[in-house]
Every structure is written in C-alpha cells, then in structure tokens.
Chain A
C-alpha cells in the first residue's frame, strides 16, 4: 500500500488546496514514515483526553467538582443514548467503545477548527516565516485522514462481529441474516425463504461495506469542512479572510458534533440490529 503513495498527487480538490491525504514528516520508507500531521494531532487529542479525564476523575466526590460534573454529564448522556439503542444488557459492554468513538471523533473534529490547524506548515516561501500557500500543514484533524476513519470503522466492525457472535452465535447470525421470517409453510414458505436468502446476500454486502461507508462519510464531511474554511479564508484579503469563514465555523461546529453522533449511533444501531432479534426469541421462549 505504501508504494501507492506516489499516486497521491492524482487527486485534485475542488475548492481550496487541501490535500485529501495527511502529510508525512518523514519519508514513507523510514521507520517514522507513519508519523503524519494527522497522527501528530491524534497524539495531541490523546493527550487532551488523558489530561481531561484524569482531571475530571481525580479526587472524585459524591458532590461533583466542575470538571467531574462536566464529564459526568457527557458520560451519562452518552450512556443513556447507547442504552436506549442497544438495550440494558449490552450497554455496559458496548458503552466504553461507543463512548470513546464519540469523544474521540468530536474532539478530533473540533480540534480541526482551532486557528493554525491546516494553516501553519510548509510551502513555497515568500519571506521570513511566510509561505504563498501551505502545502504540508503541521497539523491536520485526524478525522480528515482516511487512515484514521477507516481504522476506526474496521475496529468497530471487528468489535461488532465479536459482540454479535458472542450474543447470538455464528449459527444464530446466519439464521438471523438468511432465515425466513413470518413462519409461512408450503409453497409460499419456499418463496419467502428464497426471498430472504436473497435479502441475506444483500445484507452481507451491506455489512461488508459498512466500514467503507462509515469511514468515507466521516472523512468526506470533515475534509469538505476543511475545504470550505480554507476557501473562505482565501477570500477578500485580510478582513475577508476573517469575516468570510466566520459563519462557517459555526456550521463546522455543528457538523463536527453531528458526524460524531452519526458515527456512534450507527455503530450502536448495527450492534442492536444484529443482537436484538435473538433477545426477542429468548424472551418469547421464557414466556
């Protein structure tokens, strides 16, 4: 895959000159070839999360202090949402992962809105500490790197598969996916079974493509936001570069939050869809 990096220049952004890929600090063939500007920001996000979570949960008391209260609010809100989708049984097991995804994506998205992210870096020099255009920014939001969004999606896919198999078993998963529903027998039953078999094949394709859709949705939205902000920033001289992107920052704040919610809720829904059916079966059996 690394050999394909030479083809990177073939993609041309529509608006501003924001690359569709993260810039490397070292040569791809070197040991530190993985260190890109998005990996750097991911490490910064990791540090922020570590710092804030330690601050929020250090010396916890029943009457919470400010940081604790804020973090408790986020965690309880997320837990409620996750529990509402995946159910009380699976919520404790899935929440840490889904909560991490939400917080990580949200912090990454909003980090991209900080001044300097995408605008400080290397390019064709025009004077002391100034470039005509930044070709290789120092910082790039991790969610604007397909490696990150795809990594996140693949991780989530593996966890989803593990939870599904653990909950309903491999055979249960196959029955859930391909098995006919409705309990029809005879000729109609055979027709319905064939239909559900076909639907199952489509479902398998849908499942396989989930990591792709999840990762490209998030990546595309954040990259598009970066493009919009950079394009607006290039308009109308110094004052224009301040005023023009201003409304779009609010939009990007919303998009950042929305994309974090969408990614997390979709993951939760995928887990719920593949595990709920069997729960009903068990409940009916108990009844």
Chain B
C-alpha cells in the first residue's frame, strides 16, 4: 500500500499535480461551462427550437394551403361537373321539346292536309255529282227532244220521266 502511495506521489510530483492548481483549473472549467451554457448553448438551442418551430409551422401552412387548393379544385370540378350536367340536361330538354313540337306540328300539318284533301275530295265529289246530274238531265232532255222530233209525237210527262230514267241508267252504266 505504501508502495502504491509512493508511486502516486511520484507521479503527482512528476506531473506537477497540486490541489490549488487542480481546483483553479476546475473552477475555470466550471466558469467556461457556465458562460457557454448561458451565452451560447441556451440561446442557440432556443433559436434552433424557434427555427424548427417556424419551419414546422411553415410546413403545416403549406400542407393546409395544398389541402385547401385540392379542396378548391375538387369544389370547382364539382361545380363544372354540375354545370355540364345541367347544360346537358337543358340541351336534352330543349331537344326533346323541339322534337315534340316538330312532331306535333307535323301531325297538325298532316291533319290539316288530310282535312284539305278530304274537303277537296268532297267538293270534287259534289261537283262531279252535280255535273253528272246536270249531264243526266241535259242528256235526258236531249234524248226526249230527239225522240219527240224522230217520232213527231209530243211526249207526256210519264214518257219523259221513263226516257230520262233509262237515259240516266244508260249514262251511269
């Protein structure tokens, strides 16, 4: 033990170890520690934290902006889609209405054409019938005249009626 003690003293002597110098150095180190902690590490780590917080806030804001932009894009797309759907619906409705109107007009036109045709037919028929009766009468009269002139006989009403009927029958045939 004494030998170890002796070696320790020898080493301490060789390297100039002394309590006063030792504590002086320790005190200076503590002073450096206090200075750095107060004036360097504290403020710099604080600034680092502040900067980190600011960056984190910036990132959060960027994310929010990106989210809002995506949401706005989604909203505008929805509005555009709705407008497109409305426009398509309106066009289709207009188209349908136009088609319906066209069909109705066409039907009306066909109906009026049919009416006109029917009326024309009726008028033609009537005119034909009038002409035919007039023709029959005229032809009957001419046949009666011719008969009376050929036979020299004055035809009575009964003869005339019979000749007219036969003539009308012959004409109709």
Q: How large is the interface on B (under 10, 10 to 19, 20 to 34, 35 or more residues)?
A: 35 or more
Asked whether any CB of chain A lies closer than 8 Å to the CB of B173, the reply is no
Binary interface encoding of chain B residues 14-56 relative to chain A, with 1 for a CB under 8 A from any of its CBs, else 0? 1111111111111011111101110111011101101100100
Closest to B19 in A: A1
Q: Contact: A155 with B48, CB < 8 Å?
A: no
A46 to B24, CA, bound (A): 13
B21:A95 contact, CB within 8 angstroms: no
Q: Judge whether A22 and B33 touch: CB under 8 Å.
A: no
List the B side residues contacting A203 at CB < 8 Å: none
Question: Interface of chain A, helix or strand or loop or mixed?
Answer: helix
A11 to B13, CA, bound (A): 9
Given A8-B14, A10-B14, A39-B28, A60 and B43 touching (CB < 8 A)?
yes
Residues of A within 8 A of B30 (CB): 155
Which chain B residue has the least Cβ–Cβ distance from A104? B32
Residues of B within 8 Å of A1, CB to CB, are: 12, 17-19
Q: Is the CB of B20 within 8 A of A71?
A: no
Question: Across the two chains, which residue of chain A brings its CB closest to B33?
Answer: A100
Residue A136 lies at the interface, judged by CB distance under 8 Å to chain B: no
Chain A positions 52 through 75: 1 when the CB is less than 8 Å from some CB of chain B, otherwise 0: 011011001010100010011001
Minimum CB–CB distance from B95 to chain A (whole Å) comes to: 64
Of the residues B14, B20, B24, B51, contact of A7 by C-beta under 8 Å: B14
**What are the residues of chain A within 8 A of B15 when measuring CB–CB?**
11, 20-21, 146, 219
B76 interface residue (CB < 8 Å to A): no
Q: Give A95 to B26 CA distance when docked, in angstroms.
A: 18
Closest to A95 in B: B41
- Contact between B21 and A145, CB atoms less than 8 A apart: yes
20 A-B pairs with CB atoms under 8 Å apart are: A7-B10, A7-B14, A11-B14, A19-B16, A34-B21, A35-B24, A46-B28, A56-B44, A57-B43, A62-B47, A64-B47, A75-B44, A97-B33, A103-B36, A142-B28, A146-B15, A150-B17, A151-B26, A152-B29, A155-B29
Known: A22-B16, A42-B25. 5 other contacts (CB 8 A): A5-B13, A64-B47, A71-B44, A96-B36, A152-B25
